[in-house]
Amino acid sequence: MKVEVVLSIGAGDNFTLDFRDLSTSMYLTDTYVNKTLELNETSSDLVYANQFEDDPIVVFLVVLKCVVMLFIILAAIFGNLLVIVSVMRHRKLRVITNYFVVSLAFADMLVAIWAMCFNFSVEITNGKWLFGYFMCDVWNSLDVYFSTASILHLCCISVDRYYAIVQPLDYPLIMTTGKLGIMLAVVWCSPALVSFLPIFMGWYTTDDHMDFRKKYPKVCSFTVNKVYAVISSSVSFWIPGVIMLFMYYRIYVEADRQERMLYRSKVAALLLDKHLQINGISMGEVMRERQSIQMQPMASSKMKRERKAARTLGIIMSAFLACWLPFFLWYIITALCGDACPSPPPVVAGVFWVGYFNSALNPLIYAYFNRDFRAAFRKTLGSCCRSLCGDFGRRCCHRPRREHHHSNVSSDIHMNNCVKSTSADLLRAHASCSRQEEIVLET
């Protein structure tokens, strides 16, 4: 293991080190924070003593980084929790596609709880790992596992939308409850083959990095070999990404074809109706033709809903690719390039947290582009506000009704109408009863 050490002796007893592990391309320097690495002779660990500069710009950047990370974590947790609760509370959202959406929200919420929180602790301690050797493997495994599960969910959603639009008549037979369970089981079980198994068995990294981890357990870095980098990135991103792009391209082509066919059928039905009227065909046949024309808007509205759902899920997929593509490009390039492609810590933190941001972005996409989810979110938040705030929440959450100047007069008119209608109903009932009595007597 080649190590380059830049040593500068200060006024105290400690040494300021710029430590670089050239064989694994791991850098422990920071451009914003001066770190003093103290070698503990008894435990052979790296102990970090952070020395922040007095520069206010440095302090501002550190505080801004912490605020942004906390915002992403909280938004991912509560946003995806809102998706799960809304689907459970509203029967209208309980369709096949939304079961995939709920499972995706659960995976994104676990990404926030396990992967983001551990990464946040590393960032605020400037690279120091506080949870031991074993938990480092657990964190890396959970990070890979939930990220892979998230993109596999999106792949399943694209396949579901493909059959719903391209084969709408066969869709209930293709996407059954049993197949839904099988797909979800594959999505949740298969990521373990590229996360827990190779990481705990030590197949993912090099021998030099394993020796480094044993010497310095307070540094938790994820350094991979070339074979694992190619296989894991292909399973987690590249292959599902290609499948999703193909599926949404086919959905776009099919939706465009159906829209053109629907327009032609509308024009043909209108011409046929005009032809029947000119030639004096019987009114019954014309009415039947008009009923067939009236069925067209129903099909059109159904197609619009399917296209809107496909567009929403396409935006979700595009957001996922935009967030995770920088990370996987950095991941595969640095693994294959080795020492020739150095990666500063700010770049590494940036690509990680841009990818994590996708877990907080999906609920915002649902709320903005999907009317059903938007209404369900509003109702769920309103009920939570009323239950938490009590009477004050009821006054705040309910929209104020418009008050009319003549409310008393309108209420009096309404009561008079009710009284009149009730009296008239009683008179009619009495007349009916008396008529029935007369009929019985005559009989």
Q: What is the pLDDT of residue 398?
A: 54
For 203, which DSSP code?
-
Q: Which fold has domain 56-369?
A: Rhopdopsin 7-helix transmembrane proteins (1.20.1070)
Question: For the residues 244-251, what does the mean pLDDT come to?
Answer: 87
Q: Is pLDDT at 1 greater than 50 in this prediction?
A: no
Residue 308 CB coordination number (10 Å): 13
Q: Give residue 127's pLDDT band: very low, low, confident or very high (50, 70, 90).
A: confident
Q: Give residue 280's pLDDT band: very low, low, confident or very high (50, 70, 90).
A: low
Phi-psi region at 34: left, alpha or beta (left = phi > 0; alpha = psi -120 to 50): beta
Tokens of 223: 């350094």
**CB–CB of 107/149 below 8 Å?**
yes
Tokens of 211: 């020796």
Tokens of 177: 């409850």
Cα–Cα distance measured from residue 308 to residue 313, given in angstroms and rounded to the nearest whole number: 9
**CB–CB of 52/35 below 8 Å?**
no
Sign of the CA dihedral 256, 100, 350, 336? Answer: negative
Q: What is the pLDDT of residue 39?
A: 36
Cα–Cα distance measured from residue 27 to residue 334, given in angstroms and rounded to the nearest whole number: 13
Q: What is the pLDDT of residue 423?
A: 45
Q: Whole-number mean pLDDT of the chain?
A: 74
Q: What is the pLDDT of residue 287?
A: 52
**CB–CB of 270/180 below 8 Å?**
no
* C-alpha dist (Å) from residue 223 to 138, 191, 206, 340, 377: 15, 19, 8, 15, 41
Q: Comparing 417 with 255, which gets the higher pLDDT? A: 255
Helices and strands (H, E) in the chain, number of each type:
14, 5
Q: Is pLDDT at 125 greater than 50 in this prediction?
A: yes
Tokens 């391309």 correspond to 25
Beta bridge mates, 46: 39
Q: Give residue 273's pLDDT band: very low, low, confident or very high (50, 70, 90).
A: low
Identify which of 159, 162, 179 has the alpha carbon closest to the alpha carbon of residue 306. 162
Identify which of 378, 374, 375, 355 has the alpha carbon closest to the alpha carbon of residue 365. 374
Instruction: Return the amino acid letter for 179.
Output: K
pLDDT in tens, 349-402: 889 999 999 889 888 887 777 788 888 888 888 888 888 776 555 555 555 444
Confidence (pTM): 0.69
Q: Which residues contact 260 (CB under 8 A, 6 or more apart)?
A: none
Q: Give residue 254's pLDDT band: very low, low, confident or very high (50, 70, 90).
A: confident
Q: What is the pLDDT of residue 106?
A: 93
Q: Comparing 39 with 322, which gets the higher pLDDT? A: 322
What percent of the chain lies above the pLDDT cut of 90?
27
DSSP string, 207-230: HHHHHHHHH-TT-------HHHHH
Q: What is the pLDDT of residue 71?
A: 94
**CB–CB of 344/31 below 8 Å?**
yes
6 φ/ψ angles, rounded to the nearest 5 degrees = -105, 115
Q: What is the pLDDT of residue 18?
A: 44
Q: Give residue 118's pLDDT band: very low, low, confident or very high (50, 70, 90).
A: very high
Question: For the residues 14-25, what does the mean pLDDT come to?
Answer: 40
Q: What is the pLDDT of residue 343?
A: 81
Per-range mean pLDDT, top range of 28-42, 281-295, 312-326: 312-326
Tokens of 185: 């089981």
Q: Where are the domains of the chain?
A: 3-51, 56-369
**CB–CB of 261/270 below 8 Å?**
no
* C-alpha dist (Å) from residue 9 to 13, 15, 59: 8, 5, 25
Tokens of 122: 């590393």
Q: Is pLDDT at 443 greater than 80 in this prediction?
A: no
Q: Give residue 257's pLDDT band: very low, low, confident or very high (50, 70, 90).
A: confident
pLDDT in tens, 139-161: 999 999 998 998 899 889 889 88
Q: What is the pLDDT of residue 43?
A: 40
For 212, which DSSP code?
H
With 0-12 / 13-18 / 19 or more C-beta atoms within 10 angstroms meaning exposed / middle / buried, residue 231 is middle
**Sheet with 26-27, side-by-side order of all strands:** 3-9, 15-21, 26-27
Q: Is 35 helix (H, G, I), strand (E, B) or coil?
A: strand
Question: For the residues 173-192, what does the mean pLDDT come to?
Answer: 92
Q: Is 14 helix (H, G, I), strand (E, B) or coil?
A: coil
Tokens of 382: 């309103």
**CB–CB of 215/209 below 8 Å?**
no
Tokens of 193: 């083959």
pLDDT in tens, 20-74: 443 333 333 333 333 333 334 334 444 444 444 557 887 888 889 899 999 999 9
Total number of residues shown for the chain: 443
Q: What is the pLDDT of residue 315?
A: 81
